[in-house]
Structure 1
Amino acid sequence: MSSTQDHVHYMNACFQGANPPLTAAEKQRRYRARRDADPERRAKYLKQENERYREDLESGRKKPIKDVSARERRSRRKKWRETYHRLKDRKALSAELADPELADPVPSISRQRVHGKKRTKKTMTNLRKENKELRAKLAKETKKKESYKKRLQRLKHQGASPQTTARETLDQHSSTGTKKTLLFHKALVDSIKNKYKKAKGEKEKQLIARVVTGNSLLKQYRVQHLAQDALGFSKKRWKAPNPSGLAYQRKRNRRISPDLVNRVRSFFKRDDVSRMTTGKRQTITKNKNKMQKRFLQDSMKNLHLKFLSEEEHVISYSLFCRLRPFWIVHPTLSDRDTCMCKTHENLDFMLQKLQHLKVVNSGNAEALVREIACDTNKIECMYGDCTVCKDLSCPVSEEYSAESKVTFLQWAVVEKEHKNDPLSKSKVTLKQESETTQNELLEKFNDHLQRFKRHLFNIRHQFSHYRALKSQMKAHECLIHIDFSENYLCKYSAEIQAVHFGASHQQACLHTGVLYLSTTPQPISFCTISPSRQKGPAAIWQYMAPVFDYIQKHHPDITTVHFYSDGPCTQYKQRGNFFLFTTELFRRGFCAGTWNFFEASHGKGAPDGVGGALKRTADSLVSKGVDIPDAAVLFSELQKTGSKVQCFFVDEQTVDQAIAKMPQDLPAVPSTMRLHQVVTVAPGEMMYRNVSCICTTMQNLTCECFNPKPFTFKKQNMTSTEPSLLPQPQWQDPEVVGKWCVVRYEGDLYPGIVTDTSETHVEVRCMQKIGQNRYFWPAREDILWYLFEDIVCHIPPPKPVTGRHMEIDKETWAKLELALS
């Protein structure tokens, strides 16, 4: 009960002459009245309340309305409104009680009654408003109903259904009307039938047929067959979907030859068209079919032209795009290739600049090669030995300005000084801008274009040989495509911080490959896992040992082994691997073999996908709580998964023992970086050639195609008695840039400084000869690219003889003359 009600009851009791006990509310009210009657007490109370409020704000027990949430703000304001109205009603009631003119001191109306009247008034207002809205809606719906009713009535009077019309015509018993109706029907049917027969094209026939076949009334009255017979339309016209409208719909030939589909998809899967990805997350799933991604290496337009030039089938560009497998996609920025070919990239940089300057019309390097070569399929033309096209250069437009300055990007090897040791320098590869004239840029571009012809021919030829070898193998042959996958970082399912950020993780070496056999329709994927991180020739043949055991156990008829790999000089393409290839192969019982190399920077293939699949499986096991701390556990856990990949394990001690037994005085094979095929048919003997020969796919391993050269690993060759020149570096190593060497050109020796390297060539700035062991720097720089076999050796810097002339150290010169005599 409120204080106002207590006060009312108290006043009633007083008027009635009673002396009731004071309630707590009445006592509190009298106390407040006495306190407020004294100004000093009132001021003191207000001051205390103000200080208490300030303390509550400072301590955080209370917050100002601006600092509270929106919901709390609404709640407070609602309470303030209620308090305001309550005080207002209380003041009005007090004023009414204090009015001396009232005969009855008891109030005639209570506060609850006042609120009740207001609530009733508000409710009635809302009801009247709702009643008005409902009446308006009812009137609107009634009007709409009458409208539809009137429309139906008009439709009935305007035209009857075909069935009603036919019944009324027969009921009238008018022979004239019936005859005219039948005559009109027959004339109309014959007119449509003749128009359809005389139509010249599919477009006109389709439009005439859709006028009739798209009519739902024929189906409603079940006269479709009658109309079909009368009009002469085929069943396909009635079964074909009838979209809204009469627009012509072009008929598409959905019947595509399965042979064409297979050819196009096989084309997309080729390693020279799309490259395999190795990432564990580089997968794509469609219809619950999960595949490893492959990235296209050119635009779809260029690939379509390439397909048409190689195949006899004529296929449209749209169909060619539609037949692309879903897992072969265009690479994005996040899928950027970090193993790009330096030869391609530098040539593209120069070509883009020349096209931007409108010096050349084409931006496609392969198209320019076709313009300056007689036949891109002939090795003589692509290697620069053809007398007709060897001196041809890139055609230029009228926009060519020889002396105009231009800047272009190039990947280059530069020296970098160390901050802590200024005297110490290292070689780094950077993308940097070069400034030159259009004339010098065009000369450099033509020089690169000539080398690019050889590079392009090697790429295409090696991939062609690879495909032919897979398709034409005999029962006693096998093809092994191998490559190293990036080492797998072993890990625990849960790790402490010291393990995760420290150097406690071990690595597992993965040597992956794919075995192709003519007797099995599906290739066999395999992987050798080892804790050893060695990747030299001795380690490679130890990783291959269990693979050979598997072949001889399950396929004992295999006598010839064909290898395919990329060509890193520290792994596959070097004298140690050639020696083991010509010895270990026969020690294991095989009769012959070939080792083929893809062109440098273009060796991505199926083994890369094998490594990605195994790493993805291992990571999945770790995420499910399996610890993989080392290579042995990795091998054991992968075996438990039942993977289709054949996994083998080689311990580290076995690899170390093989490395210790490896001969150290093996002779170098000439033109190692240039060769792309090695053939062996006898222990210790081999033939090598610049490109692989197709004859090897037909068991003619000793053919004379592409000028093969013999080489023999004999004991006397391993202890050479020739005078020892200065150490021969690996010429493809960027560390040789800036060092001195000797170049053999037309029988003479020329010293020079190495300015750049590639996979098969070295760029040298040479001096000119003026006498016996006398050289000088020419006024115009003589910079050319030379093959590795034209570089004799590395030498110390020549010594000055006069103010202009220099000579090679006399002791080094004597060794050079003796070696070349």
Structure 2
Amino acid sequence: MPLTNAEKQRRYREKRDSDPNRRAEFLARCKSKYQSDIGVGKRKRIIEMTPREQRKQRKEWRKIKSKQRKRKKSNHTILTPPSSPQPALEQIPPEHHSTRRKKRLMAKCYRDNDQLRLEIAKQKRLAHRLQMRLLRLKRKSSLNTPTGQDTPRSKARKLLRHWSTEKGEGSRAKRRLMKNQAKKALQFQYTLNAELMNKYRSKNKGKQALSQIIRGKLMRKYKIITEAVNEFRFTAGRQRQKKGSLSKRLTDRVCSFYERDDISRITPGIKDTVTKNGIKKQRRVMTESIEIIHERFILENTDIKISYPTFCRMRPFWVQPPKDSDRETCACKYHENMQFLVNSLHGLNCLPSKRLQEIVKMFACDINKMDCMYGRCMECKDVILQSETDSTINTEWFQWKTKKETRLINNQEKEVTLTVKEKVTDSIDCLIDTFSSEMQRFKVHTFNITNQFNHYRKMKENLKENEVLIHIDFAENFLCKLSTEIQSMHFGASKQQITLHTGVYYTKGRTQTFCGVSDCLDHNPSAIWAFLDPILDRIINENKNVDTLHFFSDGPCSQYRQKGNFFLLSKEMSKRGLQATWNFHESGHGKGVPDGVGGTLKRTANDLVLRGKDITSAKSFVESIQEQESLVMLYEVVKEHIAEKTHLLASQNLKAVPGTFKLHQIRTSICGEIWYRDVSCTCVESCSEYGHNWKKAVLIVNSKHVQEKDREDSNLRGLIPEESGSKKSEEDKEAKTKYKKSCDHQEPDGYVPKDSDSSTREAFFLKTLNNLASCTTFTDVHKMCTKIQNEIERQQFNIDYNYFPSILNTGISVDEDSLQIFQGYFSERIT
């Protein structure tokens, strides 16, 4: 007979344990396995377990130890031979008991037993009397018949009990009777089910009534709702919540609050979508817990009283809590480093909480005031962290740092920049100093985040008829795909990428998303304005009253926040006769609608590839998605258009704007000049708050700006002053040559060169300025200005006059004509 598995294992263990070396190796392997399990967390030590797990584990240990003791005892009894000779039994003297006391105790026991027997008999008689009284009441009552008292379960049990009894012991007639009763009961059930299904198959109201029956109390009590649902073939869903006026009035308001960019961030992934009831939405991930979001809603909307359960119920289905798959890979460096410091200080009991929002409130009077957050408040600027622990003790914390490293690439040493997460070990005193210095920068960072989001929301809600809000961003490049690819192409470097510049613009009554697509992979200012040109043309054509544009974007210095973009903004606005502001979100916090647009388009393109479409270029990308009747405005930008912008930008000698990293808002309407400030605000000119004052920056460093500045400083008339003490650039020489040629070539009055002939146009303006500077009397200035004004009106130029000099400060002599025109102006100033 073959051995069983248990017998085989037993023989293997006996053979292994018989050899001391094999036994030692086995124990060493078990110990190593135990240590590795402890290291990876597969097993826990008793100190690492929760109290409940500890109790359970100790109970198991007690059981095992008890079995081990019993097994040892039984083995000892079996294996130990009896002692020979057996020892003689010791004679134990009997204990002396009092016979009288023993009799008294026995008599008391007998008396107690007799009394208890009488009590039991009395209670039995009482129970029997009450039972018979209840039975007589039941028989007399016409309402409470035995059939009415039986529950569905008791009826079923009676039927089965009588059926089994009569089947084994009863006569044939009784068995036939029980069989007929069971048959009638089952036939009644099936007939009733069929009748209900036929009655309410096509009536919604009937289905609702049947659904309420299925959700009844008895169905839930006997747990047969699932069987009823399977029988009637429709779901017994939850009862519809009746929405009152409060819910209807607040639904849109709560939904818009959940969709705010500071409350939830949109996921840019292609597959990050949620579908419910046929509605497909891009997922949004909440940045904080729903409890904190509810608190913020209550604080911002003091006129509304909404409970936490209602607030949770009104949450849109596409706004969800973060999951493990939503791991943040675009986290903010400021927030992460500050969180590391706070975690370490909280572990040392130096801070009461780990939440950054609560920690910031400890170091500022009001987190909504710029003076407090920028360290200019006299009350809170000197608040420091106090610690009672020994400051000389070393501690550890993490920090994200950027460092340079030398690597050998193609037998050449090259220096590369890496971003690493390092562990810092230093004293608690150093940790507190680092926290104090970083806290001031973090307060500024936090205020800028909130301020920029609030400004964006207010601007979008309060747009005027003549204003347009444009939010733009670059999406991740799309990798061109074919429906069928060979192996060398799929895993090689043969695939082409295309650039997606996504955005959305808002007008008074309309919202339109757009996306520019190009085979050029540049993300510089030249590419940005090549992508924006078609959008600006469409906005102007659709809205004739528009004269102000508000741009919003994130702030990478290689794309939007740099002098090249500032110059092209001023030039394009001056060319179109528009005013514009450009606002930047705080670094690391610029997610918005454009990210969702990019994810939607790339997901659509991937679906088309799966259906057999080939997308190999920007043109095929645009054509394929336009065939799907997408609501996103798609257009292609060719490389030649980007090259034109690049050539225009390269021909300018631009000057960097001081404090480019700190500015968050600029405005312009004149080519080459911008006004900028640290934070975005709706105030235009006069504002007393710190950081809201406008600063002027001249971007172009060339002869025109130098000549105008020198002329204002020297108050010379006639010729343009020469530069002294510095070497003239080639551009200055070229401009003067053009000026001399323009003076030699006389053009008719009112001639203004076309925009395409920029060099001749510049020479014309130089000539006009020279003619104005050569005027010596007021009559000459009046005639020249009248001529220029007529030409401006004829050409329909859009010029902002923001400088009104006094006649007395120009050095022009006051003649009789000026006294007649400006009567009363000189009476008090000239004697």
| TM-score (norm. length: structure 2) | 0.55
Equivalent residue in structure 2 for 1:410, among 399, 420, 428:
399
Which residue of structure 1 aligns with residue 433 of structure 2? Answer: 443
Correspondence list, 1:200-279, <5 A? 243=217, 255=244, 256-279=246-269
The residue identity in structure 2 corresponding to 1:326 is F
Give yes or no for the alignment of 1:158 onto 2:147: no
CA distance in 1, matches of 2:394, 2:449: 34
The residue that corresponds to 1:21 in the other structure is none
Q: Quick one: which amino acid aligns to residue 708 of structure 1?
A: W
Give the equivalent residue in structure 1 for 2:641. Answer: 654
Give the Cα–Cα distance (whole angstroms) in 1 for the partners of residues 145 and 431 of structure 2: 89
Note the C-alpha offset of 1:270: 0.7
Q: Which of 507, 514, 527 in structure 1 is aligned with 2:515?
A: 527
Where does residue 477 of structure 1 map in the other structure? 467
Q: 1:494 aligns with which of 467, 470, 484?
A: 484
Tell me the residue number matched to 1:207.
none
Structure 1 distance, partners of 2:703, 2:259, is: 44
Question: After superposition, what is the alpha-carbon deviation per residue over 1:577-612, rounded to whole angstroms, capped at 9, x for unaligned?
Answer: 00111111221x242110000000000000000011
Alignment of 1:574-593 (within 5 A): 574-587=562-575, 589-593=576-580
Superposed displacement of residue 258, structure 1: 2.8
Residue type of the alignment partner of 2:143: P
Residue from 289, 296, 307 that aligns with 2:297: 307
Counterparts of residues 653-672 of structure 1 (less than 5 Å):
653-662=640-649, 663-672=651-660
One of 300, 307, 319 as aligned partner of 1:316 = 307
- Secondary structure of 1:654's match? helix
Whole-Å separation in 1 of the counterparts to 2:352 and 2:663: 35
Query: How far is 1:272 from its partner?
Result: 0.9
SS in 1 for 2:331: coil
SS of residue paired to 2:624: helix
User: Cα deviation per residue 1:331-375 (whole Å; 9 max; x = unaligned)?
Assistant: 222221211100000000111111122221111111121121111
CA RMSD of aligned residues (A): 3.1
What is residue 564 of structure 1 aligned with on the other side?
Answer: 552
Residue identity over aligned pairs, in percent, reads 40
477-486 or 321-330, larger mean C-alpha shift:
321-330
- Give the corresponding residue for 2:561: 573
Task: Confirm or deny: 8 A CA contact 2:567 2:671 kept in the other structure.
Answer: no
- CA gap of 1:418–1:683, structure 2 versus 1, over 3 A, is closer
| Structure 1: 5+ residue stretches without partners | 1-64, 67-153, 166-237, 247-251, 725-821
Q: For the residues of structure 2 that align with 1:507 and 1:655, how far apart are their CA atoms?
A: 17
- The 5 A counterparts of 1:349-368 are 349-368=340-359
In 2, distance between residues paired with 1:499 and 1:560?
A: 48
Spell out the pairing of 1:563-712 with structure 2 (5 A cutoff).
563-587=551-575, 589-662=576-649, 663-695=651-683, 700=684, 706-712=692-698
1:505 Cα shift? 1.1
What is residue 448 of structure 2 aligned with on the other side?
A: 458
Q: State the Cα deviation string for residues 559-581 of structure 1 (Å, max 9, x = none).
A: 11000000000110000100111
Query: What's the CA shift for 1:701?
Result: 6.3
1:685-715 residue CA offsets vs partner (Å, 9 max, x unmatched): 22101000123xxxx4676751211122345
1:366 partner amino acid:
Q
Mark the CA change 1:512 to 1:266 in structure 2 (over 3 Å): closer, same or farther.
same
Change (3 A) 1:496 1:669: same
Relative to structure 1, is the Cα distance of residues 475 and 702 closer, same or farther in structure 2, using a 3 angstrom cutoff? farther
2:503 counterpart SS class: strand
Judge which range, 564-573 or 281-290, deviates more: 281-290
Write the letter of the residue equivalent to 1:328.
Answer: V
Partner residue of 2:383?
Answer: 392
Alpha-carbon contact 2:554-2:585 (below 8 Å) kept? yes
Q: SS state of the match for residue 587, structure 2?
A: coil
From 346, 368, 382, the counterpart of 1:377: 368
5+ residue gaps, structure 2, are 4-134, 147-211, 222-240, 707-722, 728-831
1:672 positional shift: 0.5
The alignment partner of 2:702 has SS state of helix
Shift of 1:507: 1.0
The DSSP-based 3-state class of the residue aligned with 2:463 is coil
Deviation at 1:516, TM superposition (A): 0.5
Separation (CA, whole Å) in 2 of partners of 1:500 and 1:718: 55
Aligned twin of 2:318: 327
Summarize the Cα distance change of 1:668–1:157 in structure 2 as closer, same or farther, 3 Å threshold: closer
Q: Which amino acid aligns with 1:615?
A: K
- Per-residue CA deviations over 1:396-447 (Å, capped at 9, x if unaligned) read 4x4x331111111111112323256695432211111110111111111111
Cα distance change, pair 551–704 in 1 and its aligned pair in 2 (3 A): farther
Q: Give the 3-state SS of the residue equivalent to 2:532 in structure 1.
A: helix
1:508, CA displacement in angstroms? 1.0
| TM-fit CA distance, 1:322 | 2.1
1:723 Cα deviation after fit: 9.3
AA aligned to 1:391 is: D
Do residues 553 (structure 1) and 534 (structure 2) align? Answer: no
Deviation larger for 679-688 or 633-642: 679-688
Measured in 1, the distance between the counterparts of 2:251 and 2:391 equals: 50
SS in 2 for 1:483: strand
Name the CA distance, whole Å, in 2 between partners of 1:161 and 1:524: 76
Over 3 Å counting, the alpha-carbon distance change for 1:535 and 1:419 in structure 2 is: closer
1:235 corresponds in structure 2 to none
Aligned to 2:494: 504
TM-score, normalised to structure 1's length? 0.56
Give the Cα separation in 1 of the matches to 2:539 and 2:323: 40
Total equivalences in the alignment: 487
Aligned: 1:289 with 2:279: yes
Q: 1:595 to 1:638 in 2, by over 3 A?
A: same
Change (3 A) 1:402 1:723: farther
Q: Which has the higher helix share?
A: 2
Question: How many Å separate the matches in 1 of 2:323 and 2:652?
Answer: 46
Maintained 8 Å contact 1:666/1:717: no
Query: Is this contact kept in 1: 2:264–2:286, CA < 8 A?
Result: yes
Is 1:716 paired with 2:702?
yes
Q: 1:419 to 1:723 in 2, by over 3 A?
A: farther
CA distance in 2, matches of 1:294, 1:367: 25
Cα-to-partner distance string for 1:520-549 (whole Å, 9 max, x where unaligned) = 2xx100001111111111111010111112
Q: Distance between the aligned counterparts of 1:164 and 1:411, measured in 2? A: 81
Task: Look up the SS of the partner of 1:418 in the other structure.
Answer: strand
Tell me the distance in 2 between the aligned counterparts of 1:532 and 1:159.
98
Asked if 2 retains the 8 angstrom alpha-carbon contact of 1:667 and 1:718, the reply is: no
Verify the 8 A CA contact 1:512 1:610 in the aligned structure 2.
Answer: yes
8 A Cα contact 2:582 2:666, kept in partner: yes
On the 8 A contact 2:653/2:702 being kept in 1, the answer is no
Counterparts of 1:453 and 1:164, CA distance in 2 = 79
Structure with greater proportional strand content: 1
| Aligned amino acid, residue 444 of structure 2 | R
Q: C-alpha displacement at 1:486, in angstroms?
A: 0.6
* Kept in 2: contact 1:481–1:515 (CA 8 A): yes
Residues 557 and 423 of structure 1: is their aligned pair in 2 closer, same or farther, counting only changes over 3 Å? same
Report the Cα distance in structure 2 between the residues aligned to 1:298 and 1:637, rounded to whole angstroms: 39
